Amino acid sequence: MRHGNKVNNLGRTASHRKAMLSNMASSLILHKRINTTVAKAKALRGYVEPLLTKSKTDSTHNRRTVFSYLQNKEIVSELFREVAPKIANRNGGYTRIIRTGYRLGDNAEMCMIELVDFNEIYTNEKAKKNTRRSRKTATAKAETTEVVEDAVVEEVVDTVEETPEAPAAEEASEETSEEK
């Protein structure tokens, strides 16, 4: 019976599993996406997301903790230097698993696991800025702009009539037209 044993052993010993997840996490941080089986990707997600959360606060303690998992100081420095600023405002869910089909040799279900903030297709800045508007709001905006423009035109006409210089300017324009 496997009561209380929620770890997916992936058919490996504990040391082999730990080394494999460490290598996969290093590859994920370095390349921002890797292809693997769904079972390994799910295990990797549970392994790498706490490391990404720790990388959001750059301290000596967090660097040493992450290094104890990854065992590669170049990867740790890249994690804290490049990845952490991009995920700083995200509260979790740093990885995305996209299923890609079945492997030809053994029919294992394959997927691509990637860091969410490093995919340019899904995180397009223009797509965030261009929001769709319904027709009701578009017509309401058009009506309000017409009302505002009418009010501005009325105010301009009122101010022109009230100024004492306006009649003098009109007389000067009439004199120039008579001379022509």
Burial class (CB in 10 A: 0-12, 13-18, 19+), 124: exposed
Whole-model pTM above 0.85?
Answer: no
What is the CATH classification number for the domain harbouring 73? 3.90.1030.10
The half-sphere exposure of 59 on its side-chain side, counting CA atoms within 13 A, is 6
Query: Does residue 5 lie within any of the structural domains?
Result: no
Same domain, 175 and 91: no
Same domain, 107 and 166: no
Same domain, 30 and 88: yes
Query: Does residue 9 lie within any of the structural domains?
Result: no
Name the domain count of the chain. Answer: 2
Show pLDDT as tens, one digit a residue, over the chain (180 residues).
Answer: 879 988 999 999 999 999 999 999 999 999 999 999 999 999 999 999 999 999 999 999 999 999 999 999 999 999 999 999 999 999 999 999 999 999 999 999 999 999 999 988 876 655 455 556 666 665 555 555 555 455 555 555 455 555 555 555 555 555 555 554
Same domain, 49 and 84: yes
Same domain, 72 and 104: yes
